[in-house]
Amino acid sequence: MLSERRQSITTFNTGINNSHDDNKKNSAGATARSCPTEKSLRSPCYCEENVWRLAYRRMMGGLGGRERNDAKENVEYYVVFVSNEEKCCPMLNQLASDNPLKACFWDYHVVLIQSTKVVKKGKQVIQAQVSDIDTRLPFPCALEEYLDGTFNSKFADKKDERKFAPLFRVVRAEYYLENFYSDRMHMIKDGVWLAKPPSYDCITTSNMKMNKKGHLSSLDDYVTMSKKSRIEENAWLGEVLTLQQLKLKFGLSNY
């Protein structure tokens, strides 16, 4: 998100894959599972981590006997990055705006889509819901309602409409949980945090490497949506879709 960045690199010295270790009480995974509600997972300006923890909680289950939400084979989870080549995407109904009809122009945003296959009138169809902790819309929200209520900014100039049109990087949640990591250094400018970092440890993986900026982070791989970046990408980065393609992927075939 336009105002997002993160916590100290020292947490990377606590061991490989500690984000998935529920025995480490301050790991991203353990704190996600112990959180009292899904909405309380929110750390403002850290949407990529919010969704990592939400996906982890949904797929691994909460503590205290709460069941996993992916227990049925007909349910799939997708982490979806929203951006465009300009890294300037207008989104309505965001909590960061003082007016739901006043768009936030994010460089990127991240949400979770739950896709469920159900049988209606003898035919298998997809029911998709969006979980966006940063929206004023219902949580979770039917995909059609969410898209209509979020990506409906009006532009007088058709050129601007095309320029700021959203693109969606759709990644299977299990790939994201295994491959996303961040030292939060992109959230520091001139030695000052742009937003208060989460209190839990940084999200880590066993395959971390420095990016071009010298940060231990895979965030840019997900956010970048240039034409070049969309050619022959690895499965762990998912696929980049237009708004129309996203609707078709999740069963909104009447659009």
**Catalytic residue set:** 47, 109, 132
Which residue reads 């309380």 in tokens? 40
Phi and psi for 160 in degrees, rounded to 5?
A: -70, -35
Distance CA(133)–CA(105), nearest Å, equals 17
| DSSP letter (8 states) at residue 201 | P
**Residue 42 CB: number of other CB atoms within 10 A?**
19
Distance CA(69)–CA(71), nearest Å, equals 6
Asked if the peptide bond before residue 140 counts as cis, ω within 30 degrees of 0, the response is yes
Contact 91, 106 (CB under 8 A): yes
Which residue reads 């009138």 in tokens? 121
Q: Which of 249, 248, 251, 243 is nearest to 225 (CA)?
A: 243
Please give, one letter per residue, the 3-state secondary structure of 36-66.
CCCHHHCCCCCHHHHHHHHHHHHHHCCCCCC
Distance CA(55)–CA(140), nearest Å, equals 13
| DSSP letter (8 states) at residue 254 | T
